[in-house]
Homo-oligomer: A and B are copies of this chain.
Amino acid sequence: ADIVVLPGDGIGPEIVAATLPVLEAVASRFGHAFSFAEHDIGGIAIDRHGVPLPDATLEAARAADAVLLGAVGGPKWSDPKAKVRPEQGLLAIRKALGLFANLRPVRPHAAALDASPIKAELLAGVDIVVVRELTGGIYFGDKTRSDTDATDLCRYSVAEVERVVRRAAALARQRRGHLTSVDKANVLETSRLWRDVATRVMREEFPDVTLEHQLVDSMAMHLLSKPRAYDVIVTENMFGDILTDEASMLAGSLGLLASASLGDGKVGIYEPIHGSAPDIAGKGIANPYATILSAAMLLRHSLGLEAEAAAIEAAVSAALDARVFTADLAPSGQSVGTTQAAQAVI
Protein backbone atom coordinates (compact mmCIF):
# COMPACT_ATOMS: atom_id res chain seq x y z
CA ALA A 1 0.00 0.00 0.00
CA ASP A 2 1.14 3.54 -0.80
CA ILE A 3 1.09 5.86 2.19
CA VAL A 4 1.76 9.56 1.79
CA VAL A 5 3.42 11.03 4.86
CA LEU A 6 3.01 14.72 5.72
CA PRO A 7 5.09 15.53 8.83
CA GLY A 8 4.26 19.27 8.79
CA ASP A 9 5.51 21.63 11.50
CA GLY A 10 6.49 21.77 15.17
CA ILE A 11 6.41 18.33 16.75
CA GLY A 12 4.87 16.92 13.53
CA PRO A 13 8.17 15.52 12.14
CA GLU A 14 9.08 13.90 15.50
CA ILE A 15 5.80 12.12 16.09
CA VAL A 16 5.57 10.96 12.50
CA ALA A 17 9.17 9.71 12.57
CA ALA A 18 8.31 7.73 15.70
CA THR A 19 5.20 6.25 14.08
CA LEU A 20 6.65 4.96 10.80
CA PRO A 21 8.69 2.22 12.55
CA VAL A 22 5.46 1.03 14.18
CA LEU A 23 3.89 0.63 10.73
CA GLU A 24 7.08 -1.13 9.54
CA ALA A 25 6.80 -3.51 12.46
CA VAL A 26 3.18 -4.29 11.55
CA ALA A 27 4.19 -4.79 7.91
CA SER A 28 6.88 -7.31 8.77
CA ARG A 29 4.79 -9.14 11.38
CA PHE A 30 1.75 -9.48 9.09
CA GLY A 31 3.60 -9.77 5.79
CA HIS A 32 2.59 -6.50 4.12
CA ALA A 33 4.60 -4.00 2.14
CA PHE A 34 3.99 -0.33 2.87
CA SER A 35 5.72 2.37 0.86
CA PHE A 36 6.08 5.82 2.41
CA ALA A 37 6.41 9.01 0.35
CA GLU A 38 7.07 12.18 2.30
CA HIS A 39 5.69 15.56 1.19
CA ASP A 40 5.41 19.09 2.53
CA ILE A 41 2.34 20.76 4.01
CA GLY A 42 1.74 23.77 6.25
CA GLY A 43 4.48 26.14 7.38
CA ILE A 44 7.34 24.12 5.95
CA ALA A 45 5.57 24.11 2.58
CA ILE A 46 5.23 27.90 2.77
CA ASP A 47 8.95 28.18 3.46
CA ARG A 48 9.96 25.82 0.68
CA HIS A 49 7.31 26.40 -1.97
CA GLY A 50 5.51 29.61 -1.04
CA VAL A 51 2.16 27.84 -0.56
CA PRO A 52 0.77 25.75 2.33
CA LEU A 53 -0.45 22.97 0.00
CA PRO A 54 1.89 22.44 -2.98
CA ASP A 55 0.40 20.73 -6.05
CA ALA A 56 2.84 17.87 -5.69
CA THR A 57 1.54 17.15 -2.20
CA LEU A 58 -2.09 17.15 -3.28
CA GLU A 59 -1.39 14.97 -6.32
CA ALA A 60 0.53 12.45 -4.26
CA ALA A 61 -2.29 12.34 -1.69
CA ARG A 62 -4.91 11.80 -4.41
CA ALA A 63 -2.93 8.88 -5.82
CA ALA A 64 -2.18 7.30 -2.45
CA ASP A 65 -4.04 4.69 -0.46
CA ALA A 66 -3.89 6.83 2.67
CA VAL A 67 -2.26 9.91 4.18
CA LEU A 68 -0.56 10.09 7.59
CA LEU A 69 -0.23 13.66 8.86
CA GLY A 70 1.62 15.18 11.83
CA ALA A 71 0.52 18.75 12.57
CA VAL A 72 0.75 22.20 10.99
CA GLY A 73 1.32 25.76 12.17
CA GLY A 74 3.47 27.72 14.57
CA PRO A 75 4.41 31.23 15.67
CA LYS A 76 6.77 31.64 12.72
CA TRP A 77 3.77 31.80 10.36
CA SER A 78 1.25 33.47 12.67
CA ASP A 79 1.83 37.12 11.78
CA PRO A 80 -1.69 38.63 11.67
CA LYS A 81 -0.75 40.37 8.41
CA ALA A 82 0.35 37.14 6.73
CA LYS A 83 -1.40 36.35 3.44
CA VAL A 84 -0.77 32.60 3.61
CA ARG A 85 -1.16 30.45 6.71
CA PRO A 86 -0.16 26.85 7.46
CA GLU A 87 -3.74 25.99 8.50
CA GLN A 88 -4.95 26.79 4.97
CA GLY A 89 -2.98 23.80 3.74
CA LEU A 90 -4.81 21.50 6.12
CA LEU A 91 -8.24 22.93 5.30
CA ALA A 92 -7.48 22.80 1.57
CA ILE A 93 -6.36 19.16 1.51
CA ARG A 94 -9.39 18.03 3.56
CA LYS A 95 -11.66 19.87 1.11
CA ALA A 96 -9.85 18.78 -2.07
CA LEU A 97 -10.02 15.11 -1.07
CA GLY A 98 -13.69 15.44 -0.07
CA LEU A 99 -13.04 14.22 3.49
CA PHE A 100 -16.31 15.31 5.03
CA ALA A 101 -16.38 12.99 8.05
CA ASN A 102 -13.78 13.35 10.78
CA LEU A 103 -13.95 10.47 13.27
CA ARG A 104 -12.51 11.18 16.71
CA PRO A 105 -12.78 8.26 19.14
CA VAL A 106 -12.65 9.00 22.88
CA ARG A 107 -12.00 5.95 25.05
CA PRO A 108 -10.24 6.75 28.33
CA HIS A 109 -7.50 4.28 29.17
CA ALA A 110 -7.40 3.19 32.81
CA ALA A 111 -3.70 3.97 33.21
CA ALA A 112 -4.17 7.53 31.95
CA LEU A 113 -6.99 8.50 34.32
CA ASP A 114 -4.62 10.22 36.72
CA ALA A 115 -3.86 12.72 33.98
CA SER A 116 -7.53 13.55 33.43
CA PRO A 117 -9.11 16.51 35.23
CA ILE A 118 -12.33 14.47 35.39
CA LYS A 119 -13.16 12.24 38.35
CA ALA A 120 -12.19 8.65 37.59
CA GLU A 121 -15.57 7.18 38.59
CA LEU A 122 -17.26 9.07 35.74
CA LEU A 123 -14.84 7.70 33.16
CA ALA A 124 -15.07 3.93 33.52
CA GLY A 125 -16.73 2.55 30.41
CA VAL A 126 -16.72 5.80 28.44
CA ASP A 127 -16.54 4.96 24.73
CA ILE A 128 -17.53 7.79 22.39
CA VAL A 129 -16.84 8.56 18.76
CA VAL A 130 -17.36 12.15 17.70
CA VAL A 131 -18.07 12.49 13.99
CA ARG A 132 -17.22 16.06 13.04
CA GLU A 133 -18.37 17.46 9.68
CA LEU A 134 -15.10 18.61 8.14
CA THR A 135 -15.57 20.38 4.80
CA GLY A 136 -18.47 22.77 5.36
CA GLY A 137 -19.77 25.41 7.70
CA ILE A 138 -18.14 28.64 8.79
CA TYR A 139 -14.62 27.31 8.17
CA PHE A 140 -15.21 27.36 4.43
CA GLY A 141 -17.71 30.20 3.99
CA ASP A 142 -16.98 33.55 2.34
CA LYS A 143 -14.97 35.92 4.48
CA THR A 144 -14.74 39.70 4.29
CA ARG A 145 -12.62 42.27 6.09
CA SER A 146 -12.74 46.06 5.97
CA ASP A 147 -11.37 48.80 8.21
CA THR A 148 -14.53 48.73 10.28
CA ASP A 149 -15.71 45.14 10.30
CA ALA A 150 -15.29 41.49 9.32
CA THR A 151 -17.64 38.67 8.37
CA ASP A 152 -17.62 34.88 8.09
CA LEU A 153 -20.47 33.04 6.44
CA CYS A 154 -21.71 29.71 7.76
CA ARG A 155 -23.47 27.63 5.10
CA TYR A 156 -24.75 24.07 5.14
CA SER A 157 -26.55 22.27 2.34
CA VAL A 158 -29.01 19.43 2.79
CA ALA A 159 -26.63 17.10 0.94
CA GLU A 160 -23.71 17.97 3.23
CA VAL A 161 -25.72 17.20 6.33
CA GLU A 162 -27.20 14.01 4.88
CA ARG A 163 -23.88 12.40 4.06
CA VAL A 164 -22.24 13.04 7.41
CA VAL A 165 -25.32 11.99 9.36
CA ARG A 166 -25.45 8.77 7.31
CA ARG A 167 -21.81 8.06 8.04
CA ALA A 168 -22.30 8.65 11.77
CA ALA A 169 -25.50 6.62 11.90
CA ALA A 170 -23.88 3.68 10.12
CA LEU A 171 -21.14 3.77 12.74
CA ALA A 172 -23.68 3.95 15.58
CA ARG A 173 -25.45 0.92 14.10
CA GLN A 174 -22.20 -1.09 14.41
CA ARG A 175 -21.76 0.10 17.97
CA ARG A 176 -24.41 0.67 20.64
CA GLY A 177 -27.10 2.06 18.33
CA HIS A 178 -27.27 5.57 19.78
CA LEU A 179 -26.65 8.82 17.89
CA THR A 180 -26.55 12.30 19.44
CA SER A 181 -26.82 15.17 16.98
CA VAL A 182 -25.51 18.51 18.26
CA ASP A 183 -26.61 21.91 17.00
CA LYS A 184 -27.83 25.34 18.17
CA ALA A 185 -31.28 25.06 16.60
CA ASN A 186 -32.83 27.57 19.01
CA VAL A 187 -30.76 30.33 17.38
CA LEU A 188 -29.13 29.35 14.08
CA GLU A 189 -30.83 28.69 10.74
CA THR A 190 -28.05 26.29 9.67
CA SER A 191 -28.72 24.36 12.88
CA ARG A 192 -32.44 24.15 12.17
CA LEU A 193 -31.61 22.75 8.72
CA TRP A 194 -29.16 20.36 10.39
CA ARG A 195 -31.81 19.16 12.85
CA ASP A 196 -34.50 18.76 10.17
CA VAL A 197 -32.21 16.75 7.90
CA ALA A 198 -30.84 14.60 10.72
CA THR A 199 -34.37 13.82 11.89
CA ARG A 200 -35.54 12.82 8.41
CA VAL A 201 -32.47 10.72 7.49
CA MET A 202 -32.67 8.84 10.76
CA ARG A 203 -36.41 8.19 10.49
CA GLU A 204 -36.23 7.05 6.87
CA GLU A 205 -32.94 5.17 6.82
CA PHE A 206 -31.95 4.31 10.40
CA PRO A 207 -35.16 3.62 12.33
CA ASP A 208 -33.18 1.11 14.41
CA VAL A 209 -30.72 3.75 15.68
CA THR A 210 -31.89 6.02 18.51
CA LEU A 211 -31.55 9.72 17.71
CA GLU A 212 -31.19 12.39 20.37
CA HIS A 213 -30.73 16.13 19.73
CA GLN A 214 -28.60 18.30 22.01
CA LEU A 215 -27.88 22.01 21.97
CA VAL A 216 -24.15 22.64 21.78
CA ASP A 217 -24.05 24.55 25.07
CA SER A 218 -25.79 21.72 26.94
CA MET A 219 -23.56 19.20 25.21
CA ALA A 220 -20.43 20.99 26.47
CA MET A 221 -21.80 20.33 29.95
CA HIS A 222 -23.21 16.82 29.62
CA LEU A 223 -20.01 15.59 27.99
CA LEU A 224 -18.42 16.16 31.39
CA SER A 225 -21.26 15.31 33.75
CA LYS A 226 -22.42 12.07 32.09
CA PRO A 227 -19.93 10.98 29.42
CA ARG A 228 -21.10 7.36 29.60
CA ALA A 229 -24.46 8.44 28.16
CA TYR A 230 -22.97 8.96 24.68
CA ASP A 231 -22.14 6.55 21.88
CA VAL A 232 -21.74 8.40 18.56
CA ILE A 233 -21.99 12.20 18.48
CA VAL A 234 -22.39 13.95 15.12
CA THR A 235 -22.00 17.68 14.71
CA GLU A 236 -20.96 20.49 12.41
CA ASN A 237 -17.39 21.58 11.81
CA MET A 238 -16.86 24.33 14.39
CA PHE A 239 -18.85 22.67 17.20
CA GLY A 240 -16.94 19.46 16.53
CA ASP A 241 -13.63 21.27 16.80
CA ILE A 242 -14.50 22.67 20.22
CA LEU A 243 -16.24 19.61 21.64
CA THR A 244 -13.48 17.17 20.68
CA ASP A 245 -10.76 19.23 22.33
CA GLU A 246 -12.98 19.33 25.39
CA ALA A 247 -13.62 15.56 25.12
CA SER A 248 -9.89 14.90 24.97
CA MET A 249 -9.80 15.76 28.65
CA LEU A 250 -11.89 12.65 29.32
CA ALA A 251 -9.02 10.62 27.89
CA GLY A 252 -6.45 12.32 30.11
CA SER A 253 -4.43 14.04 27.41
CA LEU A 254 -4.88 15.52 23.97
CA GLY A 255 -1.81 13.42 23.20
CA LEU A 256 -3.93 10.26 23.16
CA LEU A 257 -6.61 11.24 20.65
CA ALA A 258 -6.41 9.99 17.08
CA SER A 259 -8.54 10.94 14.12
CA ALA A 260 -9.56 9.70 10.69
CA SER A 261 -10.88 12.05 8.01
CA LEU A 262 -12.94 10.10 5.51
CA GLY A 263 -14.86 10.78 2.31
CA ASP A 264 -16.57 8.60 -0.23
CA GLY A 265 -13.33 7.26 -1.66
CA LYS A 266 -10.70 5.03 -0.13
CA VAL A 267 -8.08 7.64 0.72
CA GLY A 268 -8.33 9.23 4.14
CA ILE A 269 -6.15 11.51 6.22
CA TYR A 270 -5.06 10.20 9.61
CA GLU A 271 -3.73 12.64 12.18
CA PRO A 272 -3.60 13.26 15.92
CA ILE A 273 -6.16 15.84 17.03
CA HIS A 274 -3.51 17.87 18.85
CA GLY A 275 -1.59 20.67 17.17
CA SER A 276 2.06 21.31 16.38
CA ALA A 277 2.98 22.25 19.99
CA PRO A 278 5.79 24.65 19.02
CA ASP A 279 6.76 25.09 22.69
CA ILE A 280 8.06 21.53 22.92
CA ALA A 281 9.12 20.97 19.30
CA GLY A 282 12.59 19.52 18.79
CA LYS A 283 12.93 18.36 22.38
CA GLY A 284 12.05 14.73 21.72
CA ILE A 285 9.41 14.72 24.47
CA ALA A 286 6.18 14.87 22.44
CA ASN A 287 3.62 12.13 22.98
CA PRO A 288 3.52 9.89 19.86
CA TYR A 289 0.54 7.76 20.94
CA ALA A 290 -2.12 9.85 19.17
CA THR A 291 -0.20 9.57 15.90
CA ILE A 292 0.39 5.85 16.38
CA LEU A 293 -3.31 5.37 17.10
CA SER A 294 -4.07 7.41 13.97
CA ALA A 295 -1.90 4.96 12.03
CA ALA A 296 -4.08 2.16 13.44
CA MET A 297 -7.16 3.97 12.12
CA LEU A 298 -5.39 4.24 8.76
CA LEU A 299 -4.92 0.47 8.64
CA ARG A 300 -8.57 -0.08 9.55
CA HIS A 301 -10.35 2.50 7.42
CA SER A 302 -8.19 2.94 4.31
CA LEU A 303 -6.46 -0.44 4.05
CA GLY A 304 -9.12 -2.69 5.57
CA LEU A 305 -6.56 -4.28 7.90
CA GLU A 306 -8.62 -4.76 11.06
CA ALA A 307 -6.38 -7.28 12.85
CA GLU A 308 -3.35 -5.10 12.21
CA ALA A 309 -5.15 -2.01 13.55
CA ALA A 310 -6.25 -3.89 16.63
CA ALA A 311 -2.68 -5.10 17.19
CA ILE A 312 -1.40 -1.52 17.31
CA GLU A 313 -4.21 -0.47 19.64
CA ALA A 314 -3.49 -3.38 21.96
CA ALA A 315 0.22 -2.49 21.95
CA VAL A 316 -0.51 1.13 22.89
CA SER A 317 -2.80 -0.09 25.69
CA ALA A 318 -0.05 -2.38 26.92
CA ALA A 319 2.47 0.48 26.89
CA LEU A 320 0.06 2.61 28.91
CA ASP A 321 -0.61 -0.27 31.29
CA ALA A 322 3.15 -0.52 31.79
CA ARG A 323 3.08 3.22 32.55
CA VAL A 324 5.30 4.16 29.65
CA PHE A 325 4.25 7.79 29.92
CA THR A 326 5.41 10.86 28.07
CA ALA A 327 5.57 14.09 30.10
CA ASP A 328 1.95 15.14 29.33
CA LEU A 329 0.69 11.93 30.95
CA ALA A 330 2.95 12.07 33.99
CA PRO A 331 2.77 15.63 35.31
CA SER A 332 4.65 14.70 38.46
CA GLY A 333 6.00 11.22 37.80
CA GLN A 334 8.64 9.63 35.63
CA SER A 335 8.40 10.08 31.89
CA VAL A 336 10.02 8.84 28.69
CA GLY A 337 10.74 10.54 25.36
CA THR A 338 8.95 10.22 22.02
CA THR A 339 11.16 7.46 20.62
CA GLN A 340 11.09 5.36 23.77
CA ALA A 341 7.29 5.48 23.88
CA ALA A 342 7.12 4.32 20.26
CA GLN A 343 9.68 1.59 20.96
CA ALA A 344 7.51 0.31 23.79
CA VAL A 345 4.63 -0.01 21.35
CA ILE A 346 6.78 -1.84 18.81
A binding-site residues for B, Cβ under 8 Å: 73, 78, 80, 85, 87, 91, 116-119, 122, 138-139, 141, 143-145, 147-159, 184-190, 192-193, 195-196, 216-218, 220-221, 224-225, 238-239, 241-246, 248-249, 254, 275
The answer to whether residues A242 and B224 also contact, given A186-B73, A186-B87, A190-B150 and a CB cut-off of 8 A, is no
Q: Which residue of the partner chain, among B139, B224, B242, B254, contacts A117 with CB atoms under 8 Å?
A: B224
Instruction: Specify which chain B residues have a CB less than 8 angstroms from the CB of A246 in the assembled complex.
Output: 220-221, 224, 246
Smallest CB-CB separation from A159: which chain B residue? B148
Chain B residues with CB under 8 A of A148: 157-159
Instruction: Say whether, besides A122-B117, A187-B139, A188-B143, A193 and B245 are in contact (CB < 8 Å).
Output: no
Chain B residues within an 8 Å CB radius of A221: 245-246, 248-249, 254
Per the bound structure, the CA–CA distance linking A103 and B157 in Å amounts to: 35
Contact between A85 and B186, CB atoms less than 8 A apart: yes
User: Interface centre among A154, A195, A243, by most B CB within 10 Å?
Assistant: A154
Nearest B-chain residue to A137, judged by Cβ = B152
Checking B118, B138, B239 against A188 with a beta-carbon cut-off of 8 angstroms, the contacting residue is B138
Which residues does chain B contribute within 8 Å of A139, judged by CB atoms? Answer: 187-188
Given contacts A119-B117, A151-B153, A193-B145, contact A243 B220 (CB under 8 A): yes
Q: Nearest chain B CB to A62's CB is how many angstroms away? A: 24
Q: Contact partner of A187 among B87, B118, B184, B186, CB < 8 A?
A: B87
Contact status B249-A189, CB under 8 Å: no
Which chain B residues lie closer than 8 Å to A220 at the CB level? Answer: 220, 242-243, 245-246
Chain B residues whose C-beta falls within 8 Å of the C-beta of A249 in the assembled complex: 221, 224-225
CB-based nearest B residue for A141: B151
Given the complex, which residues of B lie within 8 Å of A152, measured CB to CB? 153-154, 188-190
Residue contact B216 to A242, C-beta cutoff 8 Å: yes
**Inter-chain contacts of A189 with B (CB < 8 A):** 143-145, 150-152
- On whether the beta carbons of B145 and A151 are closer than 8 Å, the reply is no
A241: chain B residues at CB < 8 Å are: 184, 216-217
Is A149 within 8 A of B158, CB to CB?
yes
Interface contact B154-A224, CB-CB below 8 Å: no
8 A-B pairs with CB atoms under 8 Å apart are: A118-B224, A119-B119, A141-B151, A149-B193, A184-B241, A220-B246, A221-B245, A224-B246
B-chain residues with CB within 8 Å of residue A118 when the two chains form the complex: 117-119, 224
Residues of chain B within 8 A (CB-CB) of A91 are 187
Q: Could you list 10 further interchain pairs (A-B, Cβ under 8 angstroms) beyond the known A80-B195, A145-B193, A150-B192?
A: A78-B186, A118-B119, A118-B224, A149-B157, A149-B193, A150-B189, A150-B190, A151-B190, A153-B153, A221-B249
Inter-chain contacts of A153 with B (CB < 8 A)? 151-154
> Which residues of chain B are within 8 angstroms of A143 by Cβ–Cβ distance?
188-189
Tell me the complex Cα distance, A73–B246, Å.
Answer: 27
Q: Which residues of B contact A190 (CB under 8 A)?
A: 150-152
Cα distance A78–B195 in the bound complex, in angstroms:
12
